[in-house]
Structure 1
């Protein structure tokens, strides 16, 4: 992205006047005349977007990763240690898995940092990208499962629920693992008309997990509030987690439509806006590893 080069419908006229004069020394003379208009030059000018995540953003990745590992590690220690005050926090196992998923995301984050490793191996890129999304998918599914079953969660089903959630998360992260590649030292998800199956499956998975699922939670909660009876999702502060990922689901879908030429950007401003929002969505998703430990600590504080 970042290069919305639009060609003019009729290219600039290029007239070449050749004059040949014969002599013993074969005297050649060429006369070139190029007739360019201002519109032709404007159409051919590249559209350069502001790049938010490049080699200069390495400190952001490093600091975010370090703080995410520190916060998640402290919370995991507090949740798993049998302290009296934390025993009152309901379903610590689910919350510990959320903290573990956030910590795993923070650990993998430096591998995907631009400029961290110019000779990044493709296998490492694929595995890192897969774990990156698997941890996010697992956290989203855990929040939804806890919101629907939290107050009435049967402890005998807790292990089965955890295994099912992480298995589904790893399965849904398989497409991005297979489709990721290293381009100019960057670990990316290439999208083209030639190879589109795995990328589009991944995009659909992101839309379902990060967008449709939270909308379903809100709708179920609203219906329950209106009717005033029946079972429904349990609204809690953990729902804030989805605010860090909903924009990512929308923007990667729009970006894929533009890359496959199913959606046209007719102005440079529209292209620059898409690029800016796409990278802003990625930054917002990265910042969730800092917010998740705080959300979990706040949830346990309110519960106790």
Structure 2
């Protein structure tokens, strides 16, 4: 678990925040219930990236995903011919939710499985009730046919942009995934592979990040510094580079006249660090389209 953050970054979710504690709480959940994680926050589809990366970081053999907002569900790998009842009437096709939950239950009998149910706010409220029953009873009914889940192997991740059904929420452990990292990391020049005299440039950048409430990750900082060393010459360039490299940067905020001194300081420290005698300073934020 000590490398959870690094493993999740390798699978597409990078953050300064450490989720080790929350994941330990989830995994030590009530043994007679399906362990369920309710992923909340203002990160929009970043929550989906979190769920997928966490499932991979846990080295789960089977990861299943269902999006309730998908009006055209993907074609299943196996297409069964239409069945008929004893009167010769054709049975309706299996609902995509029933199909994927029954698969998750079956797979969990033998191996670890993660089922991600995304955009639950688009689901019928009755589906919330059914999911709650799955967690409580460890059983999913499809046309009166039961599919049993192994609570030792099945993990359920729920993502919703609105409040969950109260009983469903009570059965879940909640985790917050924000638009940006809540934890701000101050990296030293050595940690970024820079000379010691880059400290003043990093100080200027950190002051700017504080002013715009941004918390760039290590890789974002590394890419930004590459741009600073190779391309950035003006305040306008700096704004484009910040927006281009750092998730969560508010572009409108970057054009606020109050930020001009902080932007200018970064350019000045960049000039000193690169030992450039003269650098053309942009006219300010109004130049950014």
Higher strand share: 2
Greater fraction of residues in helix: 1
TM-score (normalised: structure 1): 0.21
Larger radius of gyration: 1
TM-score, length basis structure 2? 0.22
